[in-house]
């Protein structure tokens, strides 16, 4: 089954916004056996929209449109859909209820401009948008499904997961597509692919393996498409995959490694803290995204300056004088100091040069020391990371999460 995506918005064409929605849609539709054959980005312009929809519907049966549903003048998708389907607008009372509730909660006055969001083409089914004000729309005419969504990414995620994927599965006869994903950290894609050469050669035709690299993390996704459930052999091959690269696997599932670590800490009641210099709180911030983290995370310190390293973490000034702040002894002293200060079982400390300035020949941009400490052991590793400031911080945080696994016994 094939689908197309049309994204509407001048901001996509002039390059003000990088379109992340359609990559997300490609992934999610793929996960239920619908493959995206074309994506088209066009302007907020009636004739361009009409033309693109007609072309797309002539090629395939499922079309998803995003964008152009805001309350302002330049958002013309709804009007254009009325024209395309040759129908009028209706005011949807369930949307009015939803808007009234949202605006009352926010203590804001509901204006006529806002009520316009409840005006929908007569022929569509309303898809309630619980995280925003513009509902999604589902059209089903002449055996062609057209779905119109707002352009705001969180609203797209909500509508796709809560209503559209289930509704597509219910409406269409889709093949079975199964994916199994695992996450590796700290191993290059080229080395993984070498280790997996033999495994890939033995893969039956119905299975495929994809490498999804992102900084120093590589997700491996094994996929199988089948007509009947009894043909599914994916779990057997996933086990083989895990066995082949066992020591490089950080966790199973399509999961952020930070979430996997956080969930383990919460489940086991292991309290933790961080003392972050070059990563500026990024590690704590990734770990605290997991709900319930407050039970094991009292707080943490960002310590950019040497003064703060000394006064807050009790780093011996002699260490900084002798070895410098970007050094193994300093990273270890920071990790131990912050663990004792917050009286936690685990701590992570980082000190390094994230750039773009501040590097020297001896201590270049990208040099980062990371220490992980518990009451019974402390380890420190030196990393030479590449990329810009953002990438160095991102890679440092992945390296720190990987080191936590070496100190704790975290199941996959």
Question: Which residues between 6 and 35 bind its own copies (CB under 8 A)?
Answer: 10-20, 22-28, 30, 35
128 makes contact with its own copies (CB under 8 A):
no
Which residues are bridge partners to 349 per DSSP? Answer: 275, 371
Query: Minimum Å distance from CB 123 to its own copies?
Result: 26
Of residues 13 and 233, the one with the C-beta less far from its own copies: 13
36 makes contact with its own copies (CB under 8 A):
yes
Q: How is residue 162 annotated by DSSP?
A: I
Question: Residues 340-379 vs its own copies: string with x where CB under 8 A?
Answer: --x------------xxxx---------------------
60 makes contact with its own copies (CB under 8 A):
no
The correct pick among 85, 206, 244, 304 for binding its own copies (CB under 8 A) is 304
List Cβ neighbours of 259 (8 Å cut-off, separation of 6 or more): 289, 290
Q: How is residue 230 annotated by DSSP?
A: G
Which residues ranging from 83 to 122 are in contact with its own copies (CB under 8 A)?
102, 105-108, 111, 113-114
Output the CA–CA distances (angstroms, integers) from residue 257 to 114, 161, 186, 283, in the order listed. Answer: 40, 22, 12, 11
Query: Minimum Å distance from CB 308 to its own copies?
Result: 4
**Contact window for its own copies (CB under 8 A) among 139-147, 242-250, 284-292, 330-338:** 284-292
Q: Specify whether the CB–CB gap between 319 and 327 falls below 8 A.
A: yes
Query: Minimum Å distance from CB 386 to its own copies?
Result: 7
For the chain, the C-alpha Rg in angstroms (whole number) is: 26
Cα–Cα distance measured from residue 194 to residue 184, given in angstroms and rounded to the nearest whole number: 14
Of residues 88 and 358, the one with the C-beta less far from its own copies: 358
Helix (H, G, I), strand (E, B) or coil at 52: helix
- Starting at the edge strand found earlier in the chain, the sheet holding 378-384 runs 272-276, 346-352, 367-374, 378-384
The correct pick among 169, 171, 360, 388 for binding its own copies (CB under 8 A) is 388
Which residues ranging from 165 to 184 are in contact with its own copies (CB under 8 A)?
179, 181
Beta strands 346-352 and 272-276, pairing class = parallel
Of residues 82 and 152, the one with the C-beta less far from its own copies: 152
Question: By CB under 8 A, how many residues form the interface with its own copies?
Answer: 102
228 makes contact with its own copies (CB under 8 A):
no
322 makes contact with its own copies (CB under 8 A):
no
Beta strands 119-121 and 89-91, pairing class = antiparallel
406 makes contact with its own copies (CB under 8 A):
no
302 makes contact with its own copies (CB under 8 A):
yes
Which residues are bridge partners to 370 per DSSP? Answer: 350, 381
Question: Of 275, 276, 274, 279, which is closest to residue 354 (Cα–Cα)?
Answer: 279
Of residues 193 and 244, the one with the C-beta less far from its own copies: 193
200 makes contact with its own copies (CB under 8 A):
yes
Q: Specify whether the CB–CB gap between 165 and 156 falls below 8 A.
A: no
Output the CA–CA distances (angstroms, integers) from residue 353 to 214, 259, 401, in the order listed. Answer: 21, 26, 19
């Amino acid at each position: 089954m094939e689908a197309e995506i049309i994204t509407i918005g001048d901001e996509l064409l002039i390059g003000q916004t990088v379109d992340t929605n359609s990559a997300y849609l490609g992934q999610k539709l793929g996960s239920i056996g619908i493959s995206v054959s074309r994506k088209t980005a066009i302007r907020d312009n009636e004739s361009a929209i009409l033309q693109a929809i007609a072309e797309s519907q002539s090629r395939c049966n499922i079309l998803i449109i995003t964008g152009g549903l805001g309350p302002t003048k330049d958002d013309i998708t709804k009007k254009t859909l009325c024209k395309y389907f040759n129908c009028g607008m209706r005011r949807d009372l369930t949307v009015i209820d939803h808007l009234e509730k949202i605006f009352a909660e926010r203590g804001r006055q509901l204006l006529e401009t806002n009520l316009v969001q409840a005006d929908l083409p007569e022929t569509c089914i309303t898809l309630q948008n619980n995280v925003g004000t513009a509902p999604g729309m589902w059209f089903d005419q002449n055996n062609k499904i057209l779905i119109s969504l707002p352009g705001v990414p969180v609203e797209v995620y909500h509508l796709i997961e809560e209503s559209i994927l289930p509704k597509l599965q219910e409406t269409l006869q889709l093949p079975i597509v199964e994916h199994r994903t695992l996450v590796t950290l700290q191993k290059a894609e080229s080395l993984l692919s070498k280790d997996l050469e033999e495994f890939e050669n033995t893969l039956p035709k119905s299975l495929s393996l994809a490498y999804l690299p992102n900084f120093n993390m590589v997700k491996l996704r094994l996929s199988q498409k089948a007509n009947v459930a009894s043909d599914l052999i994916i779990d057997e091959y996933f086990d083989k995959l895990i066995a082949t690269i066992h020591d490089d696997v950080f966790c199973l599932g399509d999961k952020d490694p930070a979430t996997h670590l956080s969930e383990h800490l919460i489940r086991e009641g292991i309290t933790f803290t961080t003392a972050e210099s070059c990563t500026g709180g990024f590690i704590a911030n990734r770990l605290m995204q997991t709900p319930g983290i407050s039970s094991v995370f009292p707080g943490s310190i960002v310590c950019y300056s040497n003064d703060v390293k000394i006064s807050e973490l009790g780093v011996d000034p002699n260490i900084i004088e002798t070895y410098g702040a970007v050094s193994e002894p300093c990273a270890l002293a920071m990790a131990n100091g912050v663990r004792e200060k917050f009286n936690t079982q685990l701590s992570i400390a980082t000190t390094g040069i994230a750039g773009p300035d501040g590097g020297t020949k001896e201590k270049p941009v990208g040099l980062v020391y990371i220490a992980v400490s518990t009451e019974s052991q402390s380890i420190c590793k030196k990393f030479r990371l590449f990329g810009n400031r953002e990438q160095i911080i991102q890679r440092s945080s992945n390296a720190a999460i990987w080191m936590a696994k070496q100190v704790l016994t975290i199941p996959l």
